[in-house]
Structure 1
């Protein structure tokens, strides 16, 4: 997870009409996670630093609260909480949109809760990507952002570097997913138990959903990671990835593993299986169709890799964690 003394900063965005219960709830959730992690000194877990950022500053969002003041080493995640009053595109100032794009380009994971996904869409970062939003905003969202693959029937779309949720109270699950990434699934589960919150059973029982390392500082590799996230790592090859990164193939292999801890092929497998987990949990598509959707022409190969990564066959995974009533699959 990290080396003792490491600090990772999570930013929470403030804007006019923001739901303060979510702002304070996220701050409390991260602090509880810190306390639980501190009880496991042998694990050498990092400490979460929680900062609040005033998003309506005319120049750029500025830090107005810091739970652990210190050197500015960059944000690892930015959370956009929901609003009871709703959120309109007019609230997305040019400076705020630029700041979000800068944070993303620097390796931060961005998460939008409920109508917070509108701000992510306004930034253009969701173009060509899957996302969800509150059902009351779905029609207007789809009309304004036709390049976004809106999946309004899904409660959460975790696309690795961009996470969107559909419910006002989904800030809790988003917060727990970030704890899972930064401190591990056992700390996330313990935090949920302490706060008496629901947490995705699939994450705690079947390993976390794939959480790519994005804050490694290698801009060429980060550019490639964002490209892979955007296209689902479907129909990619080493020469194509090298071209996207602007590197020679041998250099790409060396730098990619140094930055992410995985070979490019392994990384793509994790991305595809992560998307398949989401489809198995929230859709009724057949397993063969899901295999094809995430980039596997041979369903047997998909089943083998899925079991290797999650420990379950796709049909077992859906039976245990599927949220779609009556979800069935062919050739299980």
Structure 2
């Protein structure tokens, strides 16, 4: 029998991802026959969560030298830096086990712990789209792919945010048990096996957590003039920024080139319009300054993973089909 270790980082775990992982693998064992001995592993005898509302008592401590063939790292709460500082023993244990041949999987923002361990170096990874800006700031050398629901490289797995973690759990059930068991668990827990992208769920809010006042002013100008055709050369000149330095400063501040940023805010505005109005696709397109239907559809699908019509049909129940 293999050993599954579900980590419980001290004080800053997400209870739901621990419970969901435990329940799905327990159900897989019941349906298929035991593949894993499932243990909750921590460096503390009791972990208090959600301001004292819940506590978790692990099965084994690191001092018990638990075995692990597969390690699951749950989502972390919003205090990522504190979590990493308080959990060096867990990070060291995960690193050692991975070097010894264990596979490791992070759920949602659990990717921060994997990144801190150095295990994601040279690999693609995913995490919750809302945590992407912080993740890139902390680990700029890593290749973050927030559009992906699942990444799988060299025995290391990551997933997108929140309940998309369930898709990774089923992916691991299929790998370690079989397809039939994964389908049974998907049906039992009512999980959509077909989801392959986090993009339709992403909300682009614009990266303004920086100190470059001129670039913030440029961002605000873009956001207030979505229907206009904006020349980056003229924009740089208008804000007295040397054209050569404009792209560099903009990307340093926002992690996007000016052109990428403009595309993202335009598509975000289009998404909101598709969600809340009865405008047809062409009207939405014109409102954000596009007049080439093919180009608009291609860009919309590249960013969201859906066509404009599919997006509207998914998120606007009152919209008339067109």
TM-score, normalised to structure 2, is: 0.52
Shift of 1:160: 4.3
Task: Map 1:1-332; keep pairs closer than 5 Å.
Answer: 7-15=1-9, 16-38=11-33, 46-55=34-43, 64-65=58-59, 74-83=67-76, 85-92=77-84, 93-200=87-194, 324-325=305-306
Q: What stretches of structure 2 of length at least 5 have no aligned partner?
A: 46-56, 197-303, 308-322
Give the CA RMSD over aligned residues.
Answer: 2.7
The answer to whether the 8 Å contact 1:10/1:51 transfers is: yes
SS at match of 2:134: helix
Q: What stretches of structure 1 of length at least 5 have no aligned partner?
A: 1-6, 39-45, 58-62, 203-322, 327-332
Q: State the 4+ residue runs in structure 1 displaced beyond 4 angstroms.
A: none
What is the CA deviation profile of residues 151-201 of structure 1, one whole-angstrom value per residue up to 9, with x for unaligned ones? Answer: 122222222411111211133222212211111111111121122222247
CA spacing shift, 1:94–1:149, aligned 2, 3 Å: same
SS at match of 1:127: coil
SS at match of 2:162: coil
Shift of 1:65: 1.7
Shift of 1:90: 3.5
The answer to whether the 8 Å contact 1:134/1:166 transfers is: yes
SS at match of 1:91: helix
Number of matched residues? 184
The answer to whether the 8 Å contact 2:42/2:90 transfers is: no
TM-score, normalised to structure 1, is: 0.50
Partner Cα distance (1:124, 1:13) in 2: 17
Mark the structure with the bigger radius of gyration.
2
SS at match of 1:177: helix
The answer to whether the 8 Å contact 2:13/2:74 transfers is: yes
